[in-house]
Amino acid sequence: MNQTKQAKPILWSFYLSSCSWRVRIALNLKNIDYEYKAVDLLSKKGGDQFNKEFTKLNPKQEVPILLIDNIIFTQSIPIIEYLDSTRKTGLKLLSDDVVKRARSRIIAEVINSGIQPYQNANVIKRINKEMGKEKRIEWLNFYLNKGLTTVETLLKDTKGRYCVGDEISLADLCLVPQVFAAKRYKIDIGNFPLINSIILELDNVSAFHKALPENQPDFLKI
């Protein structure tokens, strides 16, 4: 990577990827303009993330990747933490209050390491192949309900207008794509009233709206 000033950050994303979606919301909330590079995780060739060139960028063969400040970053939560540490524009995504910051990170991690890995497209494909459709549904119900129940319980202590008090934070960026995925998998979000009320609040925020799958350039092309 050369050291000349980089014009615009580049985000490698897939419209349906929940981890890419988190970063899209963060970039919007921080008012950072960026170039969108679509990576078709469901391409007919079996997924463009497995291409040789893409694998060089991320050996884990996943989106998102963000090129910013002439550095390639992977992993959505570290990317969001980096954006929040280095960009003073837009909203602050991690509170200066250490307890609020911890609570936001805890909710984010319950989703990031406690739910998302079990609903990842490649994992679901494998479970379906090895166990069949019925067991796949059982698997998804188990991990999604357990994770969302945990989030709902945490919210009893942390919720204000959003996940942690009245400011939007990292936790909200993880919650919205997670709930979207849960609905796709037929989980009844009505069972989680606190989560549901936060989602309704966030529906009104333009940075979240702009980050929706249907508003991405690769939507419908697939």
Which residues bind to its own copies, rule: CB under 8 A?
A: 58-60, 69, 71, 73-75, 77-79, 81-82, 85-86, 98-99, 101-102, 105-106, 108-110, 112-114, 116-118, 123, 126, 130-131, 135, 139, 146-147, 149-150, 153-154
- Which tokens sit at 209? 């709206």
> To the nearest whole angstrom, how small is the minimum distance from the Cβ of residue 15 to its own copies?
21
> To the nearest whole angstrom, how small is the minimum distance from the Cβ of residue 220 to its own copies?
29
With 0-12 / 13-18 / 19 or more C-beta atoms within 10 angstroms meaning exposed / middle / buried, residue 215 is exposed
* Closer to its own copies by Cβ: residue 110 or 179: 110
> To the nearest whole angstrom, how small is the minimum distance from the Cβ of residue 113 to its own copies?
4
* Closer to its own copies by Cβ: residue 59 or 190: 59
> To the nearest whole angstrom, how small is the minimum distance from the Cβ of residue 181 to its own copies?
15
Integer angstrom CA distances of residue 203 from 13, 113, 199, 209: 21, 25, 6, 7
* Closer to its own copies by Cβ: residue 130 or 214: 130
Distance of alpha carbon 43 from alpha carbon 110, whole angstroms: 30
Closest CA to 218 of 18, 63, 38: 38
* Closer to its own copies by Cβ: residue 135 or 217: 135
Q: How many CB atoms lie within 10 A of CB 156?
A: 8
Return phi, psi of residue 187, to 5°. -80, 135
